[in-house]
Amino acid sequence: MSLAGRNTVVKVSSDGEQFTVVQDLKEVTMPMESDNQDISTFGSNHVKRLYGLRDTSYELNGLLNLNDINGQQKIRQSLVENTPLYIQFLPDGNNGFQQEVMVASYEVSASAEGVVELAIELEGTGEVTII
């Protein structure tokens, strides 16, 4: 079953309990990676691997909304004040992933012929929970 991207919801929280929607996002990416370790030995005919450390990050892009104090500004505040932040990434609007994150970057850009845009990079810390 395919999902419509327009139904995607991203929420953030400072306590991991009360989540609020991040407004005015247009694109979200969530790469999940594993640093797989090669454990092949002499005599092996095929590569054997062992799961290593896993890593998840989140890239949020959209329009800057200075009135979104519980979403966009909560993310910026987490970066500036070094406070905890949690994310829920819900591709169908209800189900998806939750994780504690650290803000890696919060970038605002503008051009004379365009709108003021926002790009945020979050790095996961700890396990991803499926919700």
The residue type at 82: N
pTM: 0.89
| pLDDT score of 86 | 98
Give residue 104's pLDDT: 97
Q: Identify which of 32, 48, 28, 29 has the alpha carbon closest to the alpha carbon of residue 40.
A: 48
How large is the average pLDDT for residues 27-56? 93
pLDDT (mean) for 14-25: 97
**32 pLDDT band (50/70/90 cuts)?**
very high
pLDDT digits (tens, 9 = 90+) for 99-120: 999 999 999 999 999 999 999 9
In whole angstroms, give the CA distance from residue 1 to residue 72: 31
Q: How far is CA 35 from CA 7, 32, 88, in A?
A: 31, 10, 24
Q: How many Å apart are CA 17 and CA 85, to the nearest integer?
A: 11
Per-residue pLDDT, 2: 82
- Coil/strand/helix, residue 98: strand
Reply yes or no on whether the pLDDT at 1 is more than 80: no
Work out the number of other CB atoms within 10 angstroms of the CB of residue 18: 11
CA pair distance 61, 80, nearest whole angstrom: 19
Give the domains, in start order, of the chain with CATH numbers: 7-130 (4.10.410)
Q: Indicate the residue type of 32.
A: M
CA dist 41 and 120 (Å) reads 42
